[in-house]
Chains A and B, each alone.
Chain A
Amino acid sequence: MTYEVEARGPVIRAENIDFHYGDGDSRNQVLYGISIEIPPAQLVVMTGPSGSGKTTLLTLIGGLRSMQEGRLEILGRDVSRLGAAELVRVRREIGFIFQMHNLFDSLSAIENVRMALQLGPFSPSDRHARAREILEQLGLGARIDYKPRALSGGQRQRVAIARALANYPPLVLADEPTAALDVHATRNVVGRLKGMTVDQGSAILMVTHDHRIIELADRLIHMVDGRIVSDVVLSDALRICEFLKGVDTFKSLTPAELTNIAEKVTRRHYEPGEVVIREGEEGDELFLISEGEVEVERKGHEVARLGPAEFFGELALISGEPRNATVVATTPLDTYVLGKNEFRAAVQQSATFREQLRRVYFQRH
């Protein structure tokens, strides 16, 4: 039996979530304006220092806390408005993996997994077989009747993971799930989690600092002091890196410098005839053409046409002067955009990039 997540909108959609503990003098705000959207089939890793609000966000998304400010949709349901009983129903569709395994010592491994299956879509006659199946998949086929005390720490954690995944949840929330696992078990577990995103379309949101998982993540969210400071879809970042490597200005940058720039870039689309930058305006963004073509005009006269792998807008960023030309899309245009602050940070961090820009600057003057 296999399950697939129904085709629908984002698994998680959060808009402007604020959250605080305590009130009055003891009020401590831990989340500020959190907005994220996580579609199905994405393995999202959330990182950040201790106290950055990761766990609070995870518990809000898991329906384990009541919302205070903002709007949160989980699996298409607005949980910010749900009562306790409805939240319980939402939680049944979520697989929780905690740092501590929290297994009942009185129950065998398979019974612990069956406790989760009793809440899921399986008929009583299928539960035992499904529990056995998932435990076997996690390498515990010979230990299904063992009590937790007779299992190693890693084996217990795998039982807890089996319990979380047994019902083919469309959303898995995990907090350091591989902390207690050895290399082999981690590879197995991570492979299974990744497989769930591919095979079932499950979304997985995981707090971890385990590089073995980060390497497989589709997306990295970094939180600091209750805010999302970076949200990078890694496949996009890779595409941007590949693109940047093909651009003369960037091709001599180290991979780390490229990645650094790629992580700060956002995508933007323009229709034909749409003005991208206007002469005389303040310049605060650098544009890289991914697809399409633009016309560069000065004082109403076309001075150049630019195409894929070319960039524009850097002069105003370097000199601080207003835009000296107007750029108009002549075809459907896809661009990668680097903001002024990110641009300056990249320039500061990369001497090579600085040199390349200086060369381009003098060529264009």
Chain B
Amino acid sequence: MIAPDTARLSPRFRAVPLAWRNLVANKRRLLRSSAGIAFATLLMMVQLGFEQGFFDASLSLVRAIDGDLVVTSAYKYRFGTRDPFAHGFLDPVRSVPGVASAAPLYADWQDFFWTSPSDGKPYLVRVLAFDPAGPTVLSIPGLTALQSRLDSDDAVLVDDRARDFLGMDTNAGSSQINGQGVRIAGRFSLGPDFMSDGTAIMGDRLFAKLLPGNRDSAANLPIEAIVVKVAAGSTVPAVQNALKAKLPDTIDVMTKAGIVEFERKFQAELSSAGPIFWLGAIVGFVVGMLISYQVIYNDLSDQLAQYATLKAMGYKTSYLVRSVLAQAALSGLAGYVPAWLLCLVVYRVIGVFALLPLHMNLRLTALTLGLTMGMCLIAAMLAVRRVVSADPAEIF
């Protein structure tokens, strides 16, 4: 007679977890498959982490702009290229109602050579400049407190997160830019991106003095961007519309969020960087899919008679497919978790040595988890055809 059991939540009353049992039955095989899937997942995480780090680094400057609206040349296809416009547009901008402040930002990426205090060699750096007596235009850690030091005609602030070879993080008190001596008045933290190894910030007068071929004084210096702060009581869209109405078509007015998106879109869609990183991620995906397929296919081949027996007993093919997919998803998880943990270490190492802001976040976690599950499930769907075609009549 069957004795009634009472513990209804006991595993003995649940359906037999076939997928899980099949996954963990052979520890050595599980280790091998997890290692393979983890390798592929790590490859995807690193590639997508690079992409994210690339975007973060590329966007760090525009994100640091301390204003509600940014006025730039309408011909700019990205913020990080030199495309200045005439200084004469500054006054019309300031005259628009609702503009609390409008401060010019000068920038250059191609003309300033910084002599490294470490090795004495000149290196191309990014230079940003503004009127030190005016409102703040950039919100960078360490910068606001040092802004007043830029009053001096030879003072520069340098980036202590610049690449090592620039020597900006040493205790050196002076160096040269474009062959002229400059005094290092302080350090801020911004970090390099994929175009610039480091950044120097200076007052507009020194910028005018050091910019090769420049004949203008700071008062007439072509402007890269005007950083606008909107007065209390006015709305950003209203002021943006008013500015657009006031300025010619050759000048564009973007919100802070708009210019961040403008830069992101360029990096993702127009530059070759985005596709390159995705190509790397796709290679990881395909490698992982092949590894996963091989593991699942071998496993199914070993147990084909068992699956055919289940069919003979009356299990529907859909049950067998679900079981194989569940096993694939579980194997994906078994590879994903160690890959995620290992990735934290890899990001840390790359962050330290390459000064790239790589960090695992929810987006990257969800994206790579989805890709890992996808590669395992696609592999399983290809391999499961073997079970679908298994003929129960053949086992007699």
Among A1, A96, A129, which residue has its beta carbon within 8 angstroms of that of B312? A96
Q: In the complex, what distance in Å separates the CA atom of A92 from the CA atom of B310? A: 10
Question: How many chain B residues touch the partner (CB < 8 A)?
Answer: 32
Q: In the complex, what distance in Å separates the CA atom of A130 from the CA atom of B1? A: 8
Q: In the complex, what distance in Å separates the CA atom of A297 from the CA atom of B4? A: 72
CB pair B16 A125 closer than 8 Å: no
**Chain B contacts with A in 141-191, Cβ cutoff 8 A:** none
Q: Which residues of B contact A130 (CB under 8 A)?
A: 2
Q: In the complex, what distance in Å separates the CA atom of A357 from the CA atom of B315? A: 60
**Chain A contacts with B in 9-65, Cβ cutoff 8 A:** 55, 58-59, 62, 64-65
- The answer to whether B393 has its CB under 8 Å from any CB of chain A is yes
Among B13, B15, B306, which residue has its beta carbon within 8 angstroms of that of A104? B306
CB pair A118 B15 closer than 8 Å: yes
Q: Which residues of A contact B396 (CB under 8 A)?
A: 55, 58-59, 62, 64, 98-99, 175
Among A58, A119, A175, which residue has its beta carbon within 8 angstroms of that of B315? A119
- The answer to whether B18 has its CB under 8 Å from any CB of chain A is yes
Q: Which residues of B contact A62 (CB under 8 A)?
A: 312, 393, 396
CB pair B312 A64 closer than 8 Å: yes
Q: In the complex, what distance in Å separates the CA atom of A126 from the CA atom of B312? A: 23
CB pair A107 B316 closer than 8 Å: no
- The answer to whether B305 has its CB under 8 Å from any CB of chain A is yes
* Contact flag A125-B395 (CB < 8 Å), given A88-B314, A107-B16: no
Within the complex, the shortest CB–CB distance from B306 to chain A, in Å, comes to 5
Segment with Cβ contacts to B, from A108-116, A241-249, A280-288, A344-352:
A108-116
- The answer to whether A310 has its CB under 8 Å from any CB of chain B is no
Q: In the complex, what distance in Å separates the CA atom of A129 from the CA atom of B2? A: 5
- The answer to whether A267 has its CB under 8 Å from any CB of chain B is no
Among A1, A104, A116, A129, which residue has its beta carbon within 8 angstroms of that of B21? A104
CB pair B395 A118 closer than 8 Å: no
Q: Which residues of A contact B3 (CB under 8 A)?
A: 129
Residue ID in chain B nearest A100 by CB atoms: B305
Among B2, B15, B18, which residue has its beta carbon within 8 angstroms of that of A126? B2
- The answer to whether B392 has its CB under 8 Å from any CB of chain A is yes
Residue ID in chain B nearest A123 by CB atoms: B13
CB pair B25 A1 closer than 8 Å: no
Q: In the complex, what distance in Å separates the CA atom of A126 from the CA atom of B5? A: 8
Most buried by A among B1, B16, B391, B396: B396
Q: Which residues of B contact A99 (CB under 8 A)?
A: 396
CB pair A125 B4 closer than 8 Å: yes
Q: Which residues of B contact A115 (CB under 8 A)?
A: 16, 18, 310, 313
Q: Which residues of A contact B301 (CB under 8 A)?
A: none
- The answer to whether B241 has its CB under 8 Å from any CB of chain A is no
CB pair A107 B395 closer than 8 Å: no
Among A1, A64, A85, A104, which residue has its beta carbon within 8 angstroms of that of B393? A64
Most buried by A among B12, B314, B391: B314
Residue ID in chain A nearest B395 by CB atoms: A98
Q: In the complex, what distance in Å separates the CA atom of A151 from the CA atom of B305? A: 19
- The answer to whether B363 has its CB under 8 Å from any CB of chain A is no
**Chain B contacts with A in 318-359, Cβ cutoff 8 A:** none
Q: In the complex, what distance in Å separates the CA atom of A115 from the CA atom of B19? A: 12
- The answer to whether A105 has its CB under 8 Å from any CB of chain B is yes
Residue ID in chain A nearest B299 by CB atoms: A106
Among A59, A88, A96, A107, which residue has its beta carbon within 8 angstroms of that of B309? A96
Q: Which residues of B contact A340 (CB under 8 A)?
A: none
Q: Which residues of B contact A92 (CB under 8 A)?
A: 313-314
* Contact flag A114-B313 (CB < 8 Å), given A126-B2, A133-B2: no
CB pair B13 A124 closer than 8 Å: yes
CB pair B395 A100 closer than 8 Å: yes
Q: In the complex, what distance in Å separates the CA atom of A60 from the CA atom of B14? A: 33
CB pair B2 A104 closer than 8 Å: no
- The answer to whether A254 has its CB under 8 Å from any CB of chain B is no
CB pair B4 A106 closer than 8 Å: no
**1/0 contact trace for B285-325 toward A, CB 8 Å?**
00000000000000000010110111011111000000000
- The answer to whether A102 has its CB under 8 Å from any CB of chain B is yes
- The answer to whether A219 has its CB under 8 Å from any CB of chain B is no
Within the complex, the shortest CB–CB distance from B226 to chain A, in Å, comes to 69
CB pair A91 B13 closer than 8 Å: no
Residue ID in chain A nearest B12 by CB atoms: A128
- The answer to whether B22 has its CB under 8 Å from any CB of chain A is yes
Within the complex, the shortest CB–CB distance from B221 to chain A, in Å, comes to 75
- The answer to whether B8 has its CB under 8 Å from any CB of chain A is yes
Q: Which residues of A contact B315 (CB under 8 A)?
A: 88, 119
Among B8, B305, B316, which residue has its beta carbon within 8 angstroms of that of A125? B8
CB pair A129 B5 closer than 8 Å: yes
* Contact flag A91-B312 (CB < 8 Å), given A64-B396, A102-B306, A175-B396: yes
**Chain A contacts with B in 306-335, Cβ cutoff 8 A:** none
Q: Which residues of B contact A118 (CB under 8 A)?
A: 15-16
Within the complex, the shortest CB–CB distance from A125 to chain B, in Å, comes to 5
Q: Which residues of A contact B310 (CB under 8 A)?
A: 115
Among A59, A103, A124, A125, which residue has its beta carbon within 8 angstroms of that of B306? A103
Residue ID in chain A nearest B304 by CB atoms: A102
Residue ID in chain B nearest A117 by CB atoms: B16
- The answer to whether A89 has its CB under 8 Å from any CB of chain B is yes
Within the complex, the shortest CB–CB distance from A53 to chain B, in Å, comes to 12
Residue ID in chain B nearest A99 by CB atoms: B396
Q: Which residues of B contact A124 (CB under 8 A)?
A: 13-15
CB pair B22 A96 closer than 8 Å: no
Residue ID in chain B nearest A128 by CB atoms: B12
CB pair A107 B21 closer than 8 Å: yes
- The answer to whether A158 has its CB under 8 Å from any CB of chain B is no
- The answer to whether A127 has its CB under 8 Å from any CB of chain B is yes
Q: In the complex, what distance in Å separates the CA atom of A125 from the CA atom of B316? A: 23
Q: In the complex, what distance in Å separates the CA atom of A205 from the CA atom of B309? A: 18
Residue ID in chain B nearest A66 by CB atoms: B393
Among A104, A126, A129, which residue has its beta carbon within 8 angstroms of that of B303? A104
Q: In the complex, what distance in Å separates the CA atom of A62 from the CA atom of B305? A: 16
8 shortest interchain CB distances as A-B pairs? A92-B314, A106-B25, A129-B2, A64-B393, A128-B12, A106-B21, A102-B309, A59-B393
A-B contact pairs, 11 of them (CB 8 A): A1-B1, A1-B2, A58-B396, A62-B396, A98-B396, A104-B21, A105-B25, A111-B21, A124-B15, A125-B8, A126-B4
* Residues of chain B whose beta carbon lies under 8 Å from any beta carbon of chain A: 1-5, 8, 12-16, 18, 21-22, 24-25, 303, 305-306, 308-310, 312-316, 391-393, 395-396
A102-B305, A111-B16, A125-B13 are known; give 9 further A-B pairs, CB within 8 A.
A55-B396, A88-B315, A91-B313, A99-B396, A106-B25, A111-B21, A128-B13, A129-B4, A163-B313
* Residues of chain A whose beta carbon lies under 8 Å from any beta carbon of chain B: 1, 55, 58-59, 62, 64-65, 85, 88-89, 91-92, 96, 98-100, 102-107, 111, 114-116, 118-119, 124-130, 133, 163, 175
